[in-house]
A = this chain, B = another copy of it.
Amino acid sequence: MQTVSNALNAPHRLRPDTLQRVTRSIELLNYRPNRNARSLRTSAVELIGYCVPSWPHGQVHLVMDQFLHALCTSAESSGRHILLFTAPVGVEGMPVYEDLHARRLVDGFVLSQTETHDPRHAWLKEQQIPFVSFGRVWEESTQPGPWVDVDGAGGCATAVQHLYDTGRRRIGFLSWPQTSGLAENRLSGWRARCGELGLPNHDELAVRCRADTIDEGARSTAELLDADPAIDAIVAISDILALGALRELGRRGLVAGVDVAVTGFDDSPLASVVSPALTSIRQPMDEIAGELIDILTTPDPKGPTERLLQPELVVRGSSAPG
């Protein structure tokens, strides 16, 4: 019994011949250890909680399936799995998190859809419930708990650089409302790189869209082009807004990628499904998931527990040089 347990959990303790003998029997009998008994004894369930976001109508999360798949894969490579649950947004949802942890359905949580001033992080930290966040809360003070995020400013700077390198000299920006730390971060990358390259980067070149919809992207693009017809490129803060830009260009008889270059953000499946295909800033989902699981499952992580990853510009026809 306990030799079998050792063979499974600490094979180095056994003599090679014993190990082989036991392993053979395990296979012969098709023995599979009961995970509940193990969890009861070790008080580790090897399950990680993830709250499935519920989106307000019309909101699209085009890369959630990619993220979930990456998260699952990473969890599995560490012998764990993802447990899905729902909870009210914000601090109202915290009792759900607490209950799942108290009843030992999960060891800890991966937070995503992190909002600016998200209250969950401080709450979980105070309760000493293990978690790691995908995304920052954008507080002045140090963020509670470990996090992984993508360098949105860097990504947008890379997009600007790419547009500059392919001959663009007047680059607009489609943003979200000012209350979002994420939006300000991405916008700052555009502003900074344009400044470094000697390109115009005044506020009139950055339009705030009211919602993340194709209509808003189109409307804002029209606003941008009406105010400044010399614009020859647009960096959009999301693929959806970029799709709106493409539509407005088409409506005006302008050719995307020729007359005006367009880039999006997220490299969602839609990017390669439109024509011309959309140049977009890809978040490295596999890497993000790997870091999240690593931080959450390593008792004493060697590296920092605040990790900023670089996105990757995927160039397609909407910004092709010719």
On A, residues with C-beta under 8 Å from B are 30, 32-37, 39-40, 43, 45, 47, 50, 52-55, 57-62, 64-65, 68-69, 72-73, 76, 81-86, 99, 102-105, 213-215, 218, 240, 250-251, 269-270, 272-275
- Are the CB atoms of B32 and A36 closer together than 8 Å? no
Copies in the complex: 2
Tell me how far the C-beta of A251 lies from the nearest C-beta in chain B, rounded to whole angstroms. Answer: 8
Are A72 and B86 neighbours in the complex by a CB distance under 8 Å?
yes
List residues of chain B with CB within 8 A of the CB of A270: 60, 270
Which of B36, B57, B81, B273 has a CB less than 8 Å from the CB of A39?
A: B36
Q: A40-B34, A102-B32, A104-B36 are in contact. Are A272 and B64 (CB under 8 A)?
A: no
A32's contact among B33, B57, B64, B103, by CB below 8 Å, is which? B103
CA distance A40 to B60 in the complex (A): 40
What is the CA–CA distance of A60 and B86 in the complex, to the nearest angstrom?
A: 23
Which of chain B's residues has its CB closest to A98's CB?
A: B32
Select which of B30, B33, B73, B83 is within 8 A of A81 by beta carbon. Answer: B83
Interface contacts beyond A36-B39, A73-B86, A213-B273: sample of 11 additional A-B pairs, CB < 8 Å, sorted by A? A37-B40, A50-B84, A52-B68, A55-B269, A61-B65, A68-B68, A69-B86, A76-B85, A81-B84, A83-B83, A214-B273
CA distance A105 to B35 in the complex (A): 6
Q: Are A273 and B215 in touch, CB under 8 angstroms?
A: yes
Bound CA–CA A10/B52 (angstroms): 31
| Bound Cα distance from A73 to B52, whole angstroms | 10
Residues of B within 8 A of A274 (CB): 214-215
Closest to A54 in B: B69
Knowing A103-B34, A269-B58, say if A47 contacts B83 (CB, 8 Å).
yes
Inter-chain contact A55/B65, CB cutoff 8 Å: yes
CB-CB under 8 A for A273 and B103, given A65-B61, A86-B72 = no
Whether A275 contacts B214 in the complex (CB less than 8 A), given A52-B72, A72-B84, comes out as: yes
A36 to B58, CA, bound (A): 39
A53 lies within 8 A of B65 (CB): yes
What is the CA–CA distance of A64 and B60 in the complex, to the nearest angstrom? 11
> Given A40-B34, A83-B82, does the pair A60, B273 have CB atoms closer than 8 Å?
yes
Closest A-B pairs by Cβ, 5 of them: A32-B102, A60-B269, A82-B84, A36-B39, A36-B40
Nearest chain B CB to A48 CB, angstrom units: 10
CB distance from A100 to the nearest CB of B (A): 8
- Complex-state Cα separation, A83 to B105, whole angstroms: 11
Chain B neighbourhood of A33, CB < 8 A: 103
Contact A32 B84 (CB under 8 A): no
CA distance A73 to B84 in the complex (A): 10
Whether B104 contacts A215 by the Cβ 8 Å rule is no
Find the B residue at minimum CB distance from A37. B40
How far does the Cβ of A271 sit from chain B's closest Cβ, in whole Å? 9
Complex Cα–Cα for A62 and B273 (A): 13
B214 contacts A59, C-beta separation under 8 Å: no
A76: B residues at CB distance < 8 A: 85-86
